[in-house]
Structure 1
Amino acid sequence: MPANDLFLLIEAAREAGTIALRHWRNRPKVWEKPEGAGPVTEADLAVNAMLERELAAARPGYGWLSEETEDDPARLSAERTFIVDPIDGTRAFLEGDKTFAHALAVAEAGRVTAAVVHLPALNLTFAAAEDGPATLNGEPIAASGTSRTGGATVLTARWALSPEHWQGRPPAVRREFRASMAYRLCLVAQGRFDAALSLRPTWEWDIAAGDLIARRAGAAVTDRHGGAIAYNRPEPRAEGILAAPPGLHADLIGRLTPALRVPDARA
């Protein structure tokens, strides 16, 4: 990884936050994406345009994968690729909630090498490089030491704890939720929650940045089957995601049933 990729992502994420906050709680224009893919706002598009312009200018040889840009297969032949969610948690953004995020990552040979998740309304910047610590506003963070499900705190959708997804009874965990998948992974990295779980097919732009940040904070991060997640694939989706301290991760994976067909939705 070029030594300054992380710095580049941090600066770009902060500029994204400046743009987003101009629209936040200011009745931005909004459209529904085709096939029930959710809303997109003028803020999403403005942030995406800035990021694509500025990051491409800084790294002209890198590929580009973004939720708000039509996919270009040329990214598959690039040595490194930006993976970007201009605004993760668009529904929260529209509701005036503070927990929307900008998620930016660089992937090389299937792995994430630099990552930033920035929440401008909360003044939080999570960051990590593959050879350094996970940080929050420049200070190191670490995942919790929880190793068993009893009493663990898990960020997941309510339906994910339905009995059909688990062998025996669902785990006795305390459940909460945040709209941004990237923020959920960072909350695990910070140790504020013990695990984040999604059983749905999960887009790479939702998880790439948070994946590296959680792993560099000491969490285990895999798909819902316990397999490693590779990035910048032709079909840029993972089979769900689970991030948790290693002992808890193993406990949860061992309790999950083989994958059922679940609704195909974002995060």
Structure 2
Amino acid sequence: MSTSLIQSADVELAGQIATIAGNLLLQLQRSGLFAGKALGKAGDRTANAFIMEALAAQRPDDAVLSEEEQDNPARLSARRVWIVDPLDGTREYGEAREDWAVHVALTVDGVPVAGAVALPALGLIFCSGPDLEIPRAPARPRMLVSRTRPAAEAVAVAAALGADLVPMGSAGAKTMAILRGAADIYLHSGGQYEWDNCAPAAVALAAGLHVSRIDGTPLVYNNADPYLPDLLICRTEDADRILGLLGKGKATFCEQKVAKKLY
């Protein structure tokens, strides 16, 4: 079987698993058996159990890195590694908001080659593939930021661009907001892990969006330390300007962080 056929089957599997996990989460949420933080914890465990079982059945020879599983160092020597977040936006899920997601992605040699992001509360699933389209850019750009802790870098760049801020929960929900035409730029520097952005990155790359660290370097996955704290996802034509603004403001941002620690 050719590499392209393998990846096509992997995309289909990622979408199927993310969709079913999302439906399970919706059923659990609507059951009334749990609420708030307890609902979030139950959702994490339920979705993770299903995803791990499904991958073990369908891709028994592949390694898996999941937020909800104890890390297995054996993945570091594997070429094919699935990176999943069974419930991205646990707080939003517990609050019965719409901005939570299910992330399922496959990396090969550290590169995200297949991925799916389900937005169950919206009834949407986005899979990496050639049929994805980027909506037309509006006159005034919209910058996605955290609901609870907007990064200083994002706020500063938004001001320089004259962009409106769009607070949102899950990283997957933020990235898919660009593909839905609800936002234009996702700039994050407040700390994430590989499972937070791997599936969103796979889908965004397939759609032709710019995806990188905030210093312009590629996102690389399946590292010994899965901490991957920053990213930029935007239209390719906007990337150079945004990265330039980030470079100019780097010293100021560092000074602000030092000041926060001191005072």
Give 2:93's aligned residue.
93
Question: Residues 148-167 of structure 1, C-alpha deviation per residue, up to 9 Å, x if partnerless?
Answer: xx821110137646489758
Matched, 1:28 2:17: no
**Alignment partner of 1:14 is 2:3:** no
What secondary structure, in the 3-state scheme, does the structure 1 residue paired with 2:96 have? coil
Structure 2 counterparts to residues 106-145 of structure 1, below 5 A: 106-128=106-128, 132-133=129-130, 140-145=132-137
Shift in alpha-carbon separation, 1:80–1:162, aligned structure 2, 3 A = closer
State the shift of 1:171 in Å: 3.5
User: TM-score by structure 1 length?
Assistant: 0.82
Which one of 196, 204, 217 corresponds to residue 186 of structure 2?
196
Corresponding position of 2:140? 151
- Distance in structure 1 (CA, Å) of the matches to 2:15 and 2:106: 12
Aligned position for 1:35: none
Instruction: Give the match for residue 207 of structure 2.
Output: 217
Larger CA deviation: 185-194 vs 91-100:
185-194
Unaligned runs of 5+ in 1: 33-38, 263-267
Provide the C-alpha distance between the structure 2 equivalents of 1:230 and 1:61, rounded to a whole number of angstroms. Answer: 22
- Using the alignment, how far apart are the partners of 1:82 and 1:164 within structure 2? 29
Give me the whole-angstrom Cα distance separating, in 2, the residues matched to 1:118 and 1:169.
31
The farther-off stretch of 162-171 and 90-99 is: 162-171
CA contact (8 A) 1:144 1:188 kept: no
Query: Deviation digits for residues 20-46 of structure 1, max 9, x if unmatched?
Result: 0122142526669xxxxxx95111101
Higher helix share: 2
CA contact (8 A) 1:106 1:114 kept: yes
The count of residues paired between Structure 1 and Structure 2 equals 245
Structure with greater strand share of residues: 1
Aligned to 1:36: none
- Stretch of structure 1 that moved more, 164-173 or 212-221: 164-173
Query: Contact 1:202/1:237 (CA < 8 Å) preserved in 2?
Result: yes
Query: Given the superposition, is the C-alpha separation of residues 144 and 40 from structure 1 closer, same or farther in structure 2, using an over 3 Å criterion?
Result: same
RMSD: 2.6
CA offsets 1:9-28 (integer angstroms, 9 cap, x no match): 11111210221012214252
- Unaligned 5+ runs, structure 2: 259-263
Partner of 2:261 in structure 1?
Answer: none
